[in-house]
Structure 1
Amino acid sequence: MSDIPTLDVACHACEFLWVDLMHDPNASILNAVRDTYEVCRVRELNHVSSAIRLRAPAFVCFEVDDPDTRVFDSLMRVRNDHPELPVLVITDRNSMVVAKWAVRLRVWDLLVKPLGQEELSETICSIASKTTERDTAIGSGGALSASSSSCDVQRCNTPGHLKRTSAAISHLKANFACRISLETVAAACRLSPSQFCRVFRKEHDVSFGQYLLCFRMDRARTLLENEKILVKEVAYAVGFTDLSYFTRSFKRHFAVCPTAYQAGARHASE
C-alpha cells in the first residue's frame, strides 16, 4: 500500500489557516465549508504570523472585504517569511486593488466572488494535494517540485540539472514573441518531439506549452504596468495574434482581464 495519502484524504486531513477579514463574520465563504475541513480561523492580521508558527498550516487563505495597506503588508510578510507556503486570496469582484496585489505577490490562486462551494472545494483539494506531494518529497529526501499553477518559470537548479532542455529555454526567451513549434525546440535539444515532451515535463513539472504560456503571461503582466501601451500591442508583443484569445488566457491566469489589470496598476500608482 502506498504511503502517499489519496487526494480525498489529503483534502480533509490537512489543516489550513483562514484569515477572515470580512466586516461581517457571517458573510465569510468559510462558513460553507468549515465543517468539512480542518480550519484555523483568525480575524486579526497581527495574529497571522503566530498562527502560522503554532499551527504549521498546509496553506493560508486571505478572504478580503475592503483592502488597505495593512492587508498588503500582511500578505507580503507571509510570502517573504514563508515562501514555500501556498497562499490563496478570495476577494470581491470589485476589489481590483487586491487582485493586483495578489498577482504581484504571485500567490497560489486568486478567487473572485461570487464563488460556488464546488469551486472553492476544488481549489482547496488542489492545494492540499500539492502540499502532500511536497511533504512526501521532503520526507523521502526528494527535490521540491515547482508549482505548475505558478507563473514563476524560473527554477533554481544545480549546474547541469536542466542540460537536456536548456536549449529550449534559451530559444523560448529569444523568440517568445513569435510562433514556437514543438519540432523546433525538440530539435534544438537533439530530441524527438515525444522524447522532448517527456524530458521537459520531468525537468520542469509542466508541459512545454504550459511553460511557454506562463512565460508570455509574465511578460504581458510586466508590459501592462505601462499605462500608455495598448492591450492589443501587449498581446502581439508576447506572441499572440488573436486579441480575444489573449484576453481569455490572461483572465484564466490572473482572474482579471488585461484592461482591468492595467487600470488597477494605474490606480495603485496614483
Structure 2
Amino acid sequence: MLLWVDMCCGAHGAASSAEFSRHCQVRPTDQQHLWAALSLASNADVICFDFEHPDMSCLKFMTDTKARFPSVPIIMLMSQQSADVVLWALRTRIFDVLLKPLTARDVLRCVQRLSPVLEARRTQSTRANATGAEAIPDETRYHARRSSRGKLDGVLGYIEKNYAQPISEQEVAKECGLSPFEFSRAFRAAHGITFRDYLSECRLVQSKRLLGIAQVSVSDVAAMAGFNDPSYFARLFRKRTGSSPSAYRASLLTLKGAGTAGLVEADSEATG
C-alpha cells in the first residue's frame, strides 16, 4: 500500500495518484496524520510526498519521517526540477524524485525499481537510518548566493556524460582551476557529499537501468556503469539497495514481464 501525502493542496494530485493506483493501492493522508497511519497500517509499504515547490518545513518533515520510519521507501514529487533538492534527496536516502506531470512510463519505471527493495524489506529486520540528518537545501529557505560554486559549474554535467569512463578527481579539479584539496572541500561544501560518493551514486543509478536489460551480463553492467571491479560493484550495490545485482535484476524483469502482460491484455480487451 502507498500512503499519499498531499503537500500541495490538491493541485494536480488526483492525476498523479491515479497513475500509481494502476499498480498498487493508494491511501490518501496528510502531514498531520501520516505518522499515525504508518504506525497503525502494517501493510504500508511506501510513502509518496506530493509537492508543488517544497519549502524548508516540508523537507524537515520528510527528514523526520525518514528518521522515524527508516525502512519505508519515500517517493517525492515536484513540479519544478531543483539540483539542490535532488542532491538533498539523494543524501537523505529518498528513494526517488519524480517531476510532474507524471507519465505512465515514469510511474511504471518507479514501481519496477521499488519491487526488489520492498521484497528485501520484507525479508530483513527494520534497520536504523545510518545516514543521519542532512542539511536542508538553501534554496528552500531563500535564494542564497552561489558565488562559491562558480568554479564548479559544469562538474555534475561532466559526471553525467562521462560516468562510464575513469574519472580522476585530480583531473576534474585541474579543469576547475583548483587544487585537489580545494576542489574536494568546495564540492562537499556546495553539494553536501564528496565527489567520489556522488560519482558512485550516479553510477549506481545507471547500473539499475542497465540491469533491466536481460541480454547484458551483470559484469558488463558493472563495466558499462563505470565500475572496473565487479566484486566491488556487487558489494556497493547490496549495501545501497539491500539486494544483490542478480536478485534486483530478477525482480525487475519479473515485474517488467507482468507489466507488459497487463498492457497486452488491456490492448486486447480494447480492440476485442
Query: Shorter-normalised TM-score: what interval?
Result: 0.5 to 0.7
Matches within 5 A, 1:173-192: 173-192=160-179
Residues 112 and 56 (structure 1), Cα distance of their counterparts in 2 relative to 1, 3 Å cut: closer
Query: Does 2:204 correspond to 1:217?
Result: yes
Between the aligned partners of 1:190 and 1:53, the Cα distance in structure 2 is: 46
Q: Which of 25, 50, 72 is the matching residue for 1:80?
A: 50
Closer/same/farther in 2, CA of residues 158 and 230 from structure 1, 3 Å limit: farther
Contact 1:177 1:237 in 2 (8 A): yes
Contact 2:113 2:252 in 1 (8 A): no
* C-alpha contact 1:178 1:239 (8 A) present in aligned 2: yes
AA of the residue aligned to 2:234: T
Cα distance in 2 for residues equivalent to 1:191 and 1:157: 23
Asked if 1:229 corresponds to 2:216, the answer is yes
The residue number in structure 1 matching 2:270 is none
List aligned pairs for 1:1-270, cutoff 5 A: 49-50=28-29, 52-55=30-33, 75=46, 78-81=48-51, 84=59, 85=62, 87=66, 88-89=70-71, 101=111, 103-104=113-114, 111=121, 113-115=123-125, 120=127, 122-123=128-129, 126=131, 129-130=133-134, 133-134=135-136, 142-144=138-140, 162-270=149-257
SS at match of 2:164: coil
Aligned residues: 182
How far apart, CA to CA, are the structure 2 residues paired with 1:179 and 1:58? 47
Deviations 1:85-118 (A, max 9, x none): 2554459xxxxxxxx849459x9xx8564426xx
Secondary structure, counterpart of 1:53 in structure 2: coil
* Runs of at least 5 residues in structure 2 that lack an aligned partner in the other structure: 4-24, 74-109, 258-272
- Distance in 2, matches of 1:192 and 1:59, equals 51
Do the aligned partners of 2:149 and 2:186 also contact (CA within 8 Å) in 1? no
When normalised by structure 1's length, the TM-score is: 0.54
TM-score (norm 2): 0.53
Q: In the aligned structure 2, how far is the partner of 1:250 from the partner of 1:63?
A: 30
In 1: Cα distance, 2:41 partner to 2:165 partner: 39
Shift of 1:80: 3.2
- Unmatched 5+ stretches in structure 1: 1-18, 20-44, 66-70, 92-99, 146-155
| Fraction of identical pairs, as percent | 21
Amino acid of the structure 2 residue aligned with 1:179: P
Partners of 2:39 and 2:131 in 1: CA distance? 13
Give how far 1:202 is off.
Answer: 1.0
